[in-house]
Amino acid sequence: MTEFQPANPDFEARTRASFDRQKIMHLIGAEMTDVAPGYTAIALPFREDLTQQHGFFHAGATSTIADSAGGYAAFTLFPADASVLTAEFKINLLAPASGTRVIAEGRVIKPGRTLTTCDIEVHAEQADGSRKLIAKGLQTLARLGHRSDIAEAG
């Protein structure tokens, strides 16, 4: 894969701080485990209150961390005064999301001044540490220039 040069040397701290401001991540118990240029990973441990009617992780829980993993993968490459917005995403759910946790990874496949495209993968991890691909997606992110990432609403 391409090696990306982040525009902001402080990209990791900035990315983790923004993730920490996503209050929904606290609600569901998600954690950002990895941050690299053009890449982030977010893990979500299994909890019964995240399930759908069959007892698996709800696709919405999977999509929530998938969307943020891709969004922050793009964000790592942005200058310090830019913010990120998801324009669209699509996800194919390949297998039931069961296991001790699900891990979403976002990878930039095409960075851009206004639009960035990311590949998204979600794996389910079992108690023995084995992982299985359960979802794959693509995402288009918009970069908002000269816009603080600090909350402006709510």
Q: Is 13 in the site for a copy of itself (CB under 8 A)?
A: no
Q: How many CB atoms lie within 10 A of CB 1?
A: 9
Stretch near a copy of itself under the rule CB under 8 A, chosen from 4-12, 19-27, 32-40, 122-130 = 19-27
Among 9, 110, 126, 131, binds a copy of itself (CB under 8 A): 110
Measured from the CB atom, the residue of 40 and 140 that comes closer to a copy of itself is 140
Among 5, 9, 13, 55, binds a copy of itself (CB under 8 A): 55
Stretch near a copy of itself under the rule CB under 8 A, chosen from 4-12, 32-40, 61-69, 122-130 = 61-69
Stretch near a copy of itself under the rule CB under 8 A, chosen from 3-11, 32-40, 47-55, 122-130 = 47-55
Distance (Å, rounded) from C-alpha 43 to C-alpha 27?
13
Q: Is 146 in the site for a copy of itself (CB under 8 A)?
A: no
Q: Is 3 in the site for a copy of itself (CB under 8 A)?
A: no
Distance (Å, rounded) from C-alpha 12 to C-alpha 19?
11
Q: Which residues fall within 8 angstroms of residue 131, CB to CB, at 6 or more apart? A: 103, 123, 124, 125
- Alpha-helical (H) ranges within 5-152 are 11-20, 23-28, 59-75
Q: How many CB atoms lie within 10 A of CB 5?
A: 10
